[in-house]
Amino acid sequence: MRSALRFVLVLLYIHSAQAHELRHELSQSQAIVIRLTYADNTPFSFETYEIYPEGSNLPTQVGRTDSAGRIAFLPDKPGRWRVKAQSEDGHGLEFAFATGASSGPMATGQSLYDRYGRILAGVALILGLFGLFNLYLKGKHP
């Protein structure tokens, strides 16, 4: 009964470890880069911005400009977009621009084996070690 309890605890631990997995995807496509500067050409660095599609009050993208005052934006559809940017001291601007054809979200191209192969290998390793440990304990106590 104890070994069954240990087995269940190990499975629960493995399942919770999957929640901490972080993946990344790198794609190269044409993004719209907006550079914001003050009148003296100093960058509008690390300030907040919001990008809205035409006719919407819900922003598609929010964030902060980078150290050079840039915003990188990859539109999900063609059309008109509105940008609002504002600093904590009250400086800011709002402007609109139009985009042509866009590239939609890219597929990751991962198979189920790629996604779950490492998990399956980890479970098999743990079960194997668990089995060897049980054999060792049974050998000590006849």
Would you write out the chain's pLDDT as a tens digit for each of its 142 residues? 666 667 666 666 665 555 556 677 777 778 899 999 998 999 999 999 999 999 999 999 999 999 999 999 999 889 999 999 999 998 899 999 998 854 444 444 556 666 677 788 888 899 999 888 888 888 766 5
69: three-class secondary structure by DSSP: coil
Total-model pTM: 0.56
Taking residue 50's Cβ as centre, other Cβ atoms within 10 Å add up to 16
Is 34 in the same domain as 45?
Answer: yes
pLDDT score for 120: 84
| pLDDT value at residue 57 | 95
Supply the pLDDT for residue 122: 85
Listed in order, strand segments (DSSP E) in 27-101 are 32-35, 48-53, 61-64, 70-73, 79-86, 92-99
Domain shared by 85 and 127, yes or no: no
- State whether 85 and 121 are in the same domain: no
Interacting residues of 46 by C-beta distance below 8 A, sequence separation 6+: 64, 65, 66, 67
**Domain count of the fold of the chain:** 2
Is residue 98 located within the same domain as residue 36?
yes
Residue 56 CA to residue 76 CA, distance in Å, equals: 14
Looking at the structure, tell me whether residues 74 and 133 fall in a common domain: no
CA dist 54 and 64 (Å) reads 21
Do residue 91 and residue 133 come from a single domain? no
98 & 134 share domain: no
> In the beta sheet, which residues pair with residue 53?
81
What is the DSSP track for 84-126? EEE-TTS-EEEEEEEE-S---PPP----HHHHHHHHHHHHHHH
**Contact indicator for 7, 130 with CB cutoff of 8 Å:** yes
Q: Give residue 139's pLDDT.
A: 77
Same domain, 87 and 98: yes
Domain with 58, as residue range(s), is: 30-107
For residue 118, the model assigns a pLDDT of 78
